[in-house]
Amino acid sequence: MENKHHIGVFGGTFDPVHEGHIRIAEAVLACTRLDLFLFVPAYLPPHKRVPVAPFHHRVAMLELALDEKNRTGWPGPGQVEVVISRIEAELKTPSYTIDTLKGLEGRLGPAVFHLVIGADSLVELHLWYRYGEILQRCHLLVAARPGISPAAVQDAIDRLPGGYVRHGSSNIWRSSVPGSNRTITYIDSVQVPVSSTRIRQELAAGRRPAMVAPVVLEYIEKHGLYRCQGEETGD
């Protein structure tokens, strides 16, 4: 391992945070040695609709979910610190990933960043703003998602610059660019068929979704979130 801190960066709207988000973090921490794991709620995401819940509510729900999980413990070697970064509220909008990474570099100093995304985001990564720079600045940790086949993951990787080559029969691809050590790791141990969109629909219908922590549901009910909404898409 390089003599630098290894930092996981898990961005999303978390609108609201649900068990699928927690399980992705658990799967990443179980197979990757990190010193710090950041949940980074988007302030104003460029590729999605405006979040239903305001930023401060989404952060508060994340705090409740993570406080509960921090008490029971996270998997993986060592004592990784799992925290929330509010950096996107401090940066210009919309919240482009490349700007978030550069902002984190400026605040945290020399580090090796590992960007956590879903396989559904991987297949669209070539459409992201300055995606080539993202690949130069970090490793990718890609969580499996329902409906995205391993073949689709391979096709998406083949489209990316960097000449990524699969390492034997593993789920790790390494850049073939001279001097680059960037990798893409596909984590197929987690596939949770849940989305924030479906959860919001259930909440709007007056139901209590099973994949949301009780403390988060209590917060949602207390503040009257997601009671009424139209058609939308989201994570």
Instruction: Find out whether the peptide bond into 16 is cis, omega within 30 degrees of 0.
Output: yes
Domains of the chain: 5-223 (3.40.50.620)
The confidence score (pLDDT) of residue 169 equals 85
Q: Which residues pair with 12 in a beta bridge?
A: 41
pLDDT, one tens digit per residue, over 94-134 is 889 999 999 999 999 889 999 999 999 999 999 999 999 99
Separation between Cα atoms, residue 87 and residue 214, nearest integer Å: 27
pLDDT, one tens digit per residue, over 59-76 is 999 999 999 888 888 987
pLDDT, one tens digit per residue, over 11-59 is 999 999 999 999 999 999 999 999 999 999 999 988 777 899 999 999 9
What pTM does this model have?
A: 0.93
Averaged pLDDT score across all residues of the chain:
92
The confidence score (pLDDT) of residue 1 equals 35
82 — phi, psi (to 5°)? Answer: -115, 115
pLDDT bucket at 177, cuts 50 / 70 / 90:
very high
The confidence score (pLDDT) of residue 47 equals 72
